[in-house]
């Protein structure tokens, strides 16, 4: 459990990865579409996507020649449960989390 939790928090620690998760809140996206708004290489985006996939925060599948990314919001459940153990945090409501990300990212 601890290794999985560490992996999720490490993935969430990067602002580029958090932005990618916010983008995927809307819908599944092709890797090239995910990369479009960033001023970094496609290889760098692929590394970010690999980290998010290993953390279970997204899944990737190939549809024809295109690789697609999909948000897997249940992966944050373990992090939410862990934070609740301190009694200072309320459960993560995914709708509220979406609003928080939109506010933080200025959408």
- The crossing angle, in degrees rounded to 10, of helices 15-24 and 2-12 is 90
In a domain, 107, yes or no: no
What pLDDT score does 92 carry? 66
In a domain, 84, yes or no: yes
What pLDDT score does 52 carry? 97
In a domain, 9, yes or no: yes
pTM recorded for the entire structure: 0.76
- The crossing angle, in degrees rounded to 10, of helices 15-24 and 42-54 is 80
How many domains does one find in the chain? 1
Full domain range(s) for residue 48: 2-102
In a domain, 43, yes or no: yes
pLDDT of residue 107 exceeding 60: no
In a domain, 34, yes or no: yes
Q: What is the pLDDT of residues 42-74, one digit of tens each?
A: 999 999 999 999 999 999 999 999 999 999 988
Instruction: Say which CATH number the domain at 34 has.
Output: 1.10.10.10
> Tell me, what DSSP letter sits at residue 39?
S
């Amino acid at each position: 459990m601890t290794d999985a939790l560490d992996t999720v928090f490490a993935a969430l620690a990067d602002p580029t990865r958090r932005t990618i998760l916010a983008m995927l809140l809307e819908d599944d996206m092709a890797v090239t579409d995910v990369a479009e708004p960033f001023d970094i290489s496609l290889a760098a985006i692929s590394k970010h996507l690999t980290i998010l996939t290993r953390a279970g925060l997204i899944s990737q599948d190939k549809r024809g020649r295109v690789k697609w990314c999909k948000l897997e919001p249940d992966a944050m459940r373990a992090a939410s449960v862990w934070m609740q153990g301190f009694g200072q945090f309320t459960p993560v409501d995914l709708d509220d989390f979406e609003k928080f990300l939109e506010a933080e990212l200025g959408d």
